[in-house]
Amino acid sequence: MGERDEQAGGLRTVARDAVRQRLADVAMDLFAEHGFETVTVEQIAERAGVSARTVHRYFPAKEDMVIGMLEANGGFVRDALLARPVDESVLLSLRAAYMALVGRGPHDEPRVRTAMRLLSSTPSLRARNVEKHLVWAELLTPIVAERLDGDDATLRARVLVEASLSAFQLSMITWADDPTERTRAELLDIAFRDLVR
């Protein structure tokens, strides 16, 4: 493959990602206005100026428009955990990995807040979020298990990872509706406070 072909492939990927992001943004805005259950794929397509078929090409299910923006973060958290010192407390390392996620790059806070609200209030999204949670757990558990001494390291690692994922998830859901407008980082610290004592 020549340099020109590689550049064209890279541009196609950028264009595909931009369309995907545009569709997700339109969907999140509609979900915020009308609720997840009442918005149809056809309404999303119309607002975005594309066909329903195009929407389905990028998002096989409506739930993917919400979960998709969160699912890919598992690899980032895994890499952030791998970058932590191996002699650091596992829970401190996990908290630091989640902290790296909430602190990275610019975030579209209104849409992220909408996603968190939807995840906690929509049954089909709750189910998909459990699937995402399990994928993240599969990524993180082997890393944690390697850092534990003694018997039953895998079981103990699963417990630590699941507890940390619950703390992370609950802090983000709390942030979505927090009347005091605390940051995600502040709420994440609070969620981990008793775990890391």
Question: Are residues 48 and 73 both part of a single domain?
Answer: no
Question: Are residues 109 and 55 both part of a single domain?
Answer: no
**pTM of the shown model:** 0.82
Determine the pLDDT at residue 52. Answer: 94
Domain end marker among 36, 61, 86: 61
Determine the pLDDT at residue 163. Answer: 97
What digits encode the pLDDT tens for the residues 84-108? 999 999 999 999 999 999 988 556 6
Question: Are residues 50 and 89 both part of a single domain?
Answer: no
120 phi/psi in degrees, rounded to 5: -90, -10
- The angle formed by the CA atoms of residues 123, 161 and 157, to the nearest 5 degrees, is 140
Alpha helical stretches, state H, the chain? 3-34, 41-48, 52-58, 64-71, 73-82, 90-103, 109-121, 123-146, 153-176, 184-193
Domain end marker among 12, 34, 61: 61
Question: Are residues 22 and 46 both part of a single domain?
Answer: yes
Domain containing residue 91: CATH number: 1.10.357.10
- The angle formed by the CA atoms of residues 92, 184 and 163, to the nearest 5 degrees, is 40
Question: Are residues 21 and 108 both part of a single domain?
Answer: no
pLDDT by 10s per residue, the chain, length 197: 555 555 555 677 788 888 988 999 999 999 999 999 999 999 999 999 999 999 999 999 999 898 876 777 899 999 999 999 999 999 999 999 999 999 885 566 788 888 888 988 899 898 888 888 899 999 999 999 999 999 999 999 999 999 999 999 999 999 998 888 899 999 999 999 999 88
Q: CA 179, CA 167: separation in Å to the nearest integer?
A: 19
Q: CA 32, CA 50: separation in Å to the nearest integer?
A: 20
Length of the chain: 197
Cα pseudo-dihedral 22, 27, 25, 69, rounded to 10: -100
Question: Are residues 142 and 77 both part of a single domain?
Answer: yes
Domain containing residue 52: CATH number: 1.10.10.60
Question: Are residues 177 and 139 both part of a single domain?
Answer: yes
Question: Are residues 54 and 108 both part of a single domain?
Answer: no
Question: Are residues 94 and 20 both part of a single domain?
Answer: no
Determine the pLDDT at residue 168. Answer: 95
Residue 31 belongs to domain spanning? 3-61
Number of domains present in the structure of the chain: 2
Question: Are residues 57 and 80 both part of a single domain?
Answer: no
Question: Are residues 55 and 75 both part of a single domain?
Answer: no
Question: Are residues 106 and 178 both part of a single domain?
Answer: yes
